[in-house]
Structure 1
């Protein structure tokens, strides 16, 4: 008996006829799936790619479409660390910590000779030697090893495009315009200003900016109380409908212990921008109250303090601000750096000479900010160094001194005795009042306590302000 007959005999003996027919049908279906479906999938995928390429070609050939549309979208496809974007023969990546230009060019299949050629093409190409994490790079490589164009975005709005011309590259800047949307946010303090900002969904940078605006009139360590309220108008930036960051603070209001402080950003006819109260007085006081944003005072000015290390009565001629190592330190006023080096028990020290025979000292620094050296000009609020514990320090803190004509003064009280910053010129007031009324109108619509901020027609007077 041949093998086929034996198989039939076994099937008839152990399996009913209907089971045999069912198994045969399932086998036939499996064969159809294996042979026919892959072809269908391939055809559908090929059709999808052809349609996408045709759409891209049509877009690129249209004169109405600018080739500079911002940072390029990335897909899930990755080749050796570089992602393929939706355009034909483009490879995009985001610079990561530790990346270098040579490794990036290798990821997209470009040689060291091509790298040398592009970085020596012009002075503007120096941007490629100063890559920072977060930069977006997009390479147009029409054939392996051939770079036709490189787009470098240092921010969502700014960048450079390198385009091949014969054996060299032409460099042009990219400057995109964001859509600006003014927004109004409000908050009430229960624990701290920064927690209140988080609860109101206000970015930390905006809250820090508001603290800088009011830094000359409000001590944000000692003054804020539970129940204080604030409102702020600031810019949000959008590119192609996507949020990309915040812009300028346009106006802010802070009600501290029942007293209302208002600041409006204004650009003078000479092009100088600053914050002013409703009566035109600059919010930038002669000195900031504190050189740190986050801190606690560990030791006040005290001419009779017992020294913590020497255990003797020794005058403490400044204020100690305890803060984590690395906390940024700000210059409390404009001035010139006269010392930026180690100085005995002060450790790393910065000394700034200000107008009017004023001098400030910042001691025990962990490090200096970039560009801070003897002779450097600094502006109020500029970061000059970082909290540390160098010299005769028992822990990380800033020792801050304030001198007037060489005599030490209490940094916590001297600010109130100093002259205030100048106000707007009378000729600026009509223009300022018109501008400020538009900003404060937004507060009128949303003030939590129902009071209104409105201007009279008389310069240097604003109804509803103190």
Structure 2
């Protein structure tokens, strides 16, 4: 077996020797290769063979590096000053692209400028100084609960702009607008200006049911107080909202709202109304298209709801003493009470119940400060115990229905602030709560035709709402109807 293995090894050595010989012959036949081998790089081919016993070793072919060792080469240091690029434009561009952080808050009771800015995420001492010192920004100190404030800031809380709607829903001619303070930051610093915002008119439909009072029902239905006051005024000739309401009475009302960019600004006037009191429906619709005639409320068959007199001289209050004999709290005797007493805080506005002329204004015995208004025909009204008269009011002056004439007080024979109101016919006092009030003029033929054209769609709407009541329409329905 050793002889067999030795034979194999010998054969392998012969093959290796032949391969080496072939390689050497190729090298000698290529001068370029010989030049390389004779160069200082010293390409060497080493072949070593040997055998010891049964083992054979073949030498590998080694190749020296083609380049010198870098550590042995000389080095040269070159230093050159380079100008840094101007990045100001790129920085400004990136700052302009930085996102705004926009927040909105409503003014809360007790808010100061500092607490409000803090809730808005504003950290801007320069802005606070500007608000304190700039006359153009003073309206920011008139913070009313519920008003809206918006701020746009960068990531560090520096203001880019600040907006405060300080006068929402102001009337400007025949439009309803809001007035807004806008503070802006520019390269020149902070500036402030007042901006007028136009509003959009919408129409809201709502339903309410009486459980305790009118205002309780409107609050539950999310109906503004100004609309509740209008309801009481419009139907004051038919319903005494102090005494006549019953649990289960219900109403549907269509009224205007004004918004800005979808945000509620204020309520407008009532457009149509149906109130069911003790099972009897009372309806009203607004109409103002008759030439030369001011707008007013009518029934759906065109009869004016405007009485020549308002039922009460204050928008909404309570009766503390009616028209009857009573024990006088000061004189301590039984006497005829010739009017109606309305309890109200000192300073509450008093209005004339009808168009007329001031017949007397001044102080008069137990009446204290008193105003007497003479109306058309044999009618007159008296307003007593006032704390103050309306500015500019004098004997002979003309007043219109609903005009402010003075304020509630306790002058004369009064134990507390209230208004004593008398309604007289031919000088004789009658009960203001039960007297039949004269009607306002009716529409003429042309006006009636215009009225039907304008109000028929509303009549249909109110009819549908009345039907929905039978299916338990939820109070405070907020569906919108276009006008």
TM-score by length of 2: 0.60
Does the 8 Å contact 1:90/1:139 carry over to 2? no
CA 1:82–1:209: 2 relative to 1, 3 Å = farther
Structure showing greater relative contact order (alpha-carbon pairs closer than 8 Å, 6 or more residues apart)? 2
CA 1:347–1:426: 2 relative to 1, 3 Å = same
Query: What SS does structure 2 have at the residue aligned with 1:352?
Result: strand
Q: Tell me the number of residue pairs that the alignment of Structure 1 and Structure 2 aligns.
A: 327
2:476 aligns to what?
Answer: none
Distance 2:462 2:323 in 1: 40
Aligned ranges for residues 70-149 of structure 1 at < 5 Å? 76=122, 77=124, 79-80=127-128, 82=130, 92=137, 94=139, 96=141, 136-138=180-182
Is 2:472 the counterpart of 1:449? no
Q: Give how far 1:44 is off.
A: 11
Q: Given the alignment, which residue of 316, 326, 334 partners 2:337?
A: 316
Aligned ranges for residues 297-376 of structure 1 at < 5 Å? 297-302=319-324, 304-376=325-397
CA 1:406–1:264: 2 relative to 1, 3 Å = same
1:424 aligns to what?
Answer: 443
Does the 8 Å contact 1:184/1:442 carry over to 2? no
1:288 aligns to what?
Answer: 310
Aligned ranges for residues 256-271 of structure 1 at < 5 Å? 256-270=277-291
CA 1:190–1:81: 2 relative to 1, 3 Å = farther
Distance 2:139 2:227 in 1: 26
Query: What SS does structure 2 have at the residue aligned with 1:413?
Result: coil
Is 2:464 the counterpart of 1:438? no
2:38 aligns to what?
Answer: none
Aligned ranges for residues 177-196 of structure 1 at < 5 Å? 178-196=199-217
2:97 aligns to what?
Answer: 51
Does the 8 Å contact 1:183/1:235 carry over to 2? yes
Query: What SS does structure 2 have at the residue aligned with 1:433?
Result: helix
Q: Given the alignment, which residue of 221, 240, 251 partners 2:261?
A: 240
Distance 2:426 2:91 in 1: 80
TM-score by length of 1: 0.62
Structure 2: any 5+ residue segments left out of the alignment?
A: 1-87, 101-119, 144-177, 472-483
Q: Give how far 1:95 is off.
A: 5.1
Distance 1:347 1:144 in 2: 62
Distance 2:362 2:129 in 1: 44
What per-residue deviation string (whole Å, max 9, x for no partner) do you get for residues 136-194 of structure 1?
445789798998xx7445xx64xxxxxxxxxxxxxxxxxx3x21111101100000000
Q: Give how far 1:444 is off.
A: 3.3
Distance 1:44 1:151 in 2: 31
Instruction: Single out whichever of 275-284 and 375-384 deviates more from structure 2.
Output: 375-384
Does the 8 Å contact 1:93/1:137 carry over to 2? no
2:156 aligns to what?
Answer: none
Query: What SS does structure 1 have at the residue aligned with 2:97?
Result: helix
Q: Give how far 1:306 is off.
A: 3.3
Instruction: Single out whichever of 281-290 and 312-321 deviates more from structure 2.
Output: 312-321
Does the 8 Å contact 1:294/1:323 carry over to 2? no
Does the 8 Å contact 2:359/2:372 carry over to 1? yes
Determine which structure has more spread, i.e. the larger CA radius of gyration. 2
Does the 8 Å contact 2:251/2:274 carry over to 1? yes
Aligned ranges for residues 198-209 of structure 1 at < 5 Å? 198-209=219-230
Distance 2:91 2:387 in 1: 59
Distance 1:335 1:141 in 2: 56
Does the 8 Å contact 2:130/2:190 carry over to 1? no
Q: Give how far 1:221 is off.
A: 0.9
Does the 8 Å contact 1:82/1:93 carry over to 2? no
2:247 aligns to what?
Answer: 226
Q: Give how far 1:247 is off.
A: 1.8
